[in-house]
Amino acid sequence: MMRICSKLEYADLRELQDTVTNKTLWPLFEDRFSNKETLVKRFDQLAELRNGIRHSRTVDEVTRKEGEAALLWFSQVLTDSKAVAQQRHAADGASRRS
């Protein structure tokens, strides 16, 4: 897992989006993100904020707030998914010990 994570550090935002929303790969991520349209919208909001900051452009308040909301959304979705995965792992371990 660590090897995959270290490689992901070199992917840009749109590469991550393309990977997750890829027709073939989407079933692997669907449980985590539920709705592809919402995911794409959040990637778009985050990309717009990132590009404004990266290219030293003025970022208006709406763009900033939407980008911040996207960050919060990703954080919540990924944290919730991690908790679910930990619960499943604990349940699997308990059922194996039974």
Report yes or no: 3 and 47 within 8 Å, Cβ to Cβ: no
Residue 41: domain span: 36-98
User: pTM for the whole thing?
Assistant: 0.74
57-73 residues labelled b (16+ CB within 10 A) or e (exposed)? eebeeebeebbeebeeb
Q: Please report the DSSP string for 49-76 in residue order.
A: HHHHHHTT----HHHHHHHHHHHHHHHH
The tokens for 86 are 């930990």
Q: Region 22-36: what's the mean pLDDT?
A: 92
* pLDDT the model gives residue 1: 46
Would 4 be classed as within a structural domain?
no
- pLDDT tens digits, one per residue of 42-77: 999 999 999 999 899 999 999 999 999 999 999 999
Would 40 be classed as within a structural domain?
yes
How many structural domains does the chain have?
1
Would 66 be classed as within a structural domain?
yes
Alpha carbon distance 94, 98 (integer Å):
6
Alpha carbon distance 73, 64 (integer Å):
14
The tokens for 68 are 């911040």
* pLDDT the model gives residue 17: 95
